[in-house]
Amino acid sequence: MKKRFYIITALIMAAAVFSGCRAELSIRHKHPGEAAEQESAEELLAWGDKYMDGDDVEQDTVKALEYYNRAAAAGSADAPAVLGNFFEYGTGGSASDFKLARLYYRNAAERGNEYVEESLKRVEWKEKILEESPQISASVLNDRGDSQYSVQHNYGLALAYYELAAGQGAGRGAYSAGYMYDEGKGVHKDYRKAGQFYKKAMEAGNIEAMGKLADLYYYGRGITQNIDRAVELFTEGADNGDWYAQIRLGEIYEKGENGVKRNNKKALKYYRAALKNGAISAARGISRIADAYRYGEDAEQDMEKAFSLYKEAAESRDPYAALCAGEIYQTGSEELGLAPDYRMAAQYYGIAASANPERGPEAVIQAQYRLGYYYENGVGVEQDLSKAKENYRKAADEGYEPAQEALERLKSEG
């Protein structure tokens, strides 16, 4: 390990991370004053080392930084790594600046320095901790974090900091600690402790904790079951803009369970609010309510409402809703006074076929097959065998036999 990194380590009491990144350099000039403007990046870096170490010159971290910056500007991949180390730990009396450190580390990585990967992940982790728990100082993170830090998500250390932040009144820190106990991230699940931290988070004004605490009351996890209190907390969180609480309320009113009366109007209200908050999974709730109206299940049959809701959910690229809207356009509907419209059917099948499969794999596969058929036969779209094969192949790759058969048929037909 190079001498410069031993000096930095001694100053910041942390492990150096650049072991073996380059060989020792020889210094062409005997005295700093003799340095030429045309010096190479490696030579500039070596001068930075000399000033950092106090090697034949008076130790001067300011001049060291100057040379490291010049080396970086000259294209060195090592100099940005050293500068990242300076700003991560506040070497030379300066304050830590994790954002600036991250930028330098990333620059070094982009230049091919393979030794900064761990440093980059570490400083990103520190940034996240400070963002979520500003009561924790950078010096605390530097003093206590590095010796225990693991690139593989050190949940135990994160939990310790979240608990520390919670004790200092940080709502986000308390929420994060509660979430880790709730989900068993790095610790055994402990719903009682999760509830305690969620309550602390709420007291500190954290909105997200309301929905999570409401879940504990709703299912009686680590706390006495209390449906009324759960709905009260879900409602408070939802009305304050928490998407999770909005989705949960939508589900509760959609299903009408645990003594809560089914109410599609309220369910739709909260699903729509969640969608506006960017929670696209709420679109699936809207399409389920559309099903209820279409088939008269737990609701009075109403094809007009069903069709409208399918199209609404399809706007958020819910594949099932888009598939159903496409089906209705394809077959037409006497109740709606709607004649078959293959062009619109193709449009909605296209939405479903291109949706994220994780949101509804069966619907995506069905849409891909139907869209393949449309392109093969020129139904609602211009005939295009290339696009037909493309869509058939996507469905076939997922094991859908009709699509596999269609591909074989097209192949045999030449």
Question: In the predicted model, what is the mean pLDDT of residues 231-238?
Answer: 96
pLDDT at residue 149, rounded to an integer? 42
Q: Does the pLDDT value for residue 231 go beyond 90?
A: yes
Q: What is the distance between the alpha carbons of residues 141 and 160, in angstroms, rounded to a whole number?
A: 11
Q: What is the distance between the alpha carbons of residues 84 and 68, in angstroms, rounded to a whole number?
A: 11
Question: In the predicted model, what is the mean pLDDT of residues 351-366?
Answer: 94
pLDDT band at 94 (very low <50, low <70, confident <90, very high): low
Q: What is the distance between the alpha carbons of residues 79 and 62, in angstroms, rounded to a whole number?
A: 15
Q: Could you read off the pLDDT of 171-194 as tens digits, one per residue?
A: 888 898 899 899 988 788 999 999
Helical packing angle, 79-89 and 98-110, nearest 10°:
160
Question: In the predicted model, what is the mean pLDDT of residues 374-381?
Answer: 96
Q: Amino acid identity of 298?
A: D
Lowest mean pLDDT among 143-157, 271-285, 395-409: 143-157
pLDDT band at 134 (very low <50, low <70, confident <90, very high): low
Write the burial class of residue 72 (CB in 10 Å: 0-12 exposed, 13-18 middle, 19+ buried).
buried
Q: Does the pLDDT value for residue 199 go beyond 80?
A: yes
Q: What is the distance between the alpha carbons of residues 52 and 59, in angstroms, rounded to a whole number?
A: 6
Query: What percentage of the chain exceeds 90 in pLDDT?
Result: 52
Q: What is the distance between the alpha carbons of residues 309 and 275, in angstroms, rounded to a whole number?
A: 13
Q: Does the pLDDT value for residue 152 go beyond 50?
A: no
Please name each of the domains of the chain with its CATH number: 1-115 (1.25.40.10)
Lowest mean pLDDT among 43-47, 83-87, 129-133, 139-143: 139-143
pLDDT at residue 154, rounded to an integer? 56
**6, two tokens:** 């031993």
pLDDT at residue 369, rounded to an integer? 97
Question: In the predicted model, what is the mean pLDDT of residues 24-39?
Answer: 43
Q: Could you read off the pLDDT of 154-165 as tens digits, one per residue?
A: 566 667 767 777
Lowest mean pLDDT among 185-189, 198-202, 243-247: 185-189
Task: Name the average pLDDT for the chain.
Answer: 83
Instruction: Enumerate residues 6+ apart whose C-beta is below 8 A from 83.
Output: 65, 68, 69, 72, 104
Question: In the predicted model, what is the mean pLDDT of residues 275-284?
Answer: 93
